[in-house]
Amino acid sequence: MKRIFSGIQPSGSLQLGNYLGAIRNWAKMQNDYECIFCVVDLHAITLPQDPLAMRAATREVAAGVIAGGVNPETCIIFNQSQVPEHAELAWLFNCVARLGWLNRMTQFKEKAGKDRDGAFVGLYTYPVLQAADILAYKATDVPVGEDQKQHIELCRDIAQAFNSMFEIDFFPLPEARIQKAAARIMSLRDGRKKMSKSDPSDYSRINMTDGPDAIAQKIKKAKTDPYPLPDSLDELDQRPEAQNLITIFAALCERSEESVLSEFAGKGFGDFKRYLAELAVEIMGPIGKEMQRLMNYPDEVDSILNHGANKAREIAKPIVSEAKEIVGFLKP
């Protein structure tokens, strides 16, 4: 059976983009693959985190993955720092990846901003750790949103470079599995910016734990333009905020954008937003409730993560040991 690996950072509240772009696909793929899903706390500290908040966010992400439909009895769910092989393999890969490859990473440029010299070294080598996450399990498929595509390409480059450096066919070249329909959900305040858990404005996103009132309020306040909805996808393409709301609607009810547009063409945003809010509450409401319920049982969540970490380690340990041997380290 093919093996999936994917991860989410515990660096804030889970938002609709995480659900539609990642978690929902994980749930859909879980019966066809061996699945490993990781709360990537080592990645989260590449930007400063409050330790208490990160501990809570780690449990929240785990709760979100489970409430989003991933079965913890058949899938491995764990937090990254419990499996030391991730960091160990990342070091080997730091000595395979080239500066030039990392210099091209757009996410580093965005996150480091203007003060590059002030950024943590970890933020720069972050994609190398991401490659180690995937390859420590020899995963073949990586379901992610569009923003992670470049990182998965780098992972393939690292796997290939390792294999050719040591003249061995050891690591597979994993494929990014990007669902077109919700590959990139944008901010509710700016249709050109990605919806993100780290955006300072809470009105820019729908959190997975938002109740019906908050969801309706955020959709009502979402930025729009003054024109009625168009009747063609080409016209929609020129209007980022309208495009984003249609994308969200279509993704939530799993219809094509074309069919949603034909239903609402010519209508104003007032009407459309009311339907969208109803739909979002219907789909996200029960998931948010289940997440809240699970978060009331932190011991249960911790025990799922511990159990998952033990199972993950059973897979990663022999693979990383073999990689160390290939590199030329003496066996203990």
As annotated, the active-site residues are: 111, 194, 197
Q: Which is nearer to ligand TYM, 228 or 240 (CB)?
A: 240
- Site membership for ligand TYM, residue 8 (CB under 6 A): yes
Task: Output the smallest distance, CB 134 to ligand TYM, in A.
Answer: 5
Tokens of 163: 């294999």
173-176 long-range contacts, Cβ below 8 Å, gap at least 24? 174/5, 174/134, 174/135, 174/139, 174/140, 174/141, 174/142, 175/140, 175/141, 175/142, 176/142, 176/144, 176/148, 176/149, 176/152
- Site membership for ligand TYM, residue 184 (CB under 6 A): yes
Residues in contact with ligand TYM, shown as a per-residue x/- string from 196 to 215 under the rule CB under 6 A: x-------------------
- Site membership for ligand TYM, residue 133 (CB under 6 A): yes
Return the SS3 of 53. helix
Nearest-5° Cα angle at 49, 48 to 55: 160
- Site membership for ligand TYM, residue 6 (CB under 6 A): yes
Evaluate whether 62 touches 29 at the Cβ level (below 8 Å). Answer: no
Q: Which is nearer to ligand TYM, 147 or 175 (CB)?
A: 147
- Site membership for ligand TYM, residue 18 (CB under 6 A): yes
Q: Which is nearer to ligand TYM, 103 or 262 (CB)?
A: 103
Report the distance separating Cα 56 and Cα 13, nearest Å.
10
Of all residues in the shown chain, the one whose CB is closest to ligand TYM is 21
Q: Which is nearer to ligand TYM, 138 or 184 (CB)?
A: 184
Task: Output the smallest distance, CB 98 to ligand TYM, in A.
Answer: 20
- Site membership for ligand TYM, residue 134 (CB under 6 A): yes
Q: Which of 64, 72, 145, 230 binds ligand TYM (CB under 6 A)?
A: 145
Residues in contact with ligand TYM, shown as a per-residue x/- string from 288 to 317 under the rule CB under 6 A: ------------------------------
Evaluate whether 286 touches 280 at the Cβ level (below 8 Å). Answer: no
Report the distance separating Cα 301 and Cα 202, nearest Å.
26
Range 74-86 burial, b when 16+ CB lie within 10 A, else e: ebbbbbbbbbebb
- Site membership for ligand TYM, residue 21 (CB under 6 A): yes
The site for ligand TYM, by CB under 6 A, has a size of: 27
At a CB cut-off of 8 Å and minimum separation 6, what does 105 contact? 127, 150, 151, 154
Task: Output the smallest distance, CB 29 to ligand TYM, in A.
Answer: 13
- Site membership for ligand TYM, residue 148 (CB under 6 A): yes
Q: Which is nearer to ligand TYM, 265 or 279 (CB)?
A: 279
Evaluate whether 5 touches 25 at the Cβ level (below 8 Å). Answer: no
SS3 content of the chain, % helix, strand, coil (to 5): 60, 10, 35
Q: How many helices (H) and strands (E) does the chain have?
A: 15, 5
- Site membership for ligand TYM, residue 27 (CB under 6 A): no
Point out which residues bind ligand TYM (CB under 6 A): 5-9, 17-18, 21-22, 40, 43, 130, 133-134, 142, 144-145, 147-148, 151, 182-185, 194-196
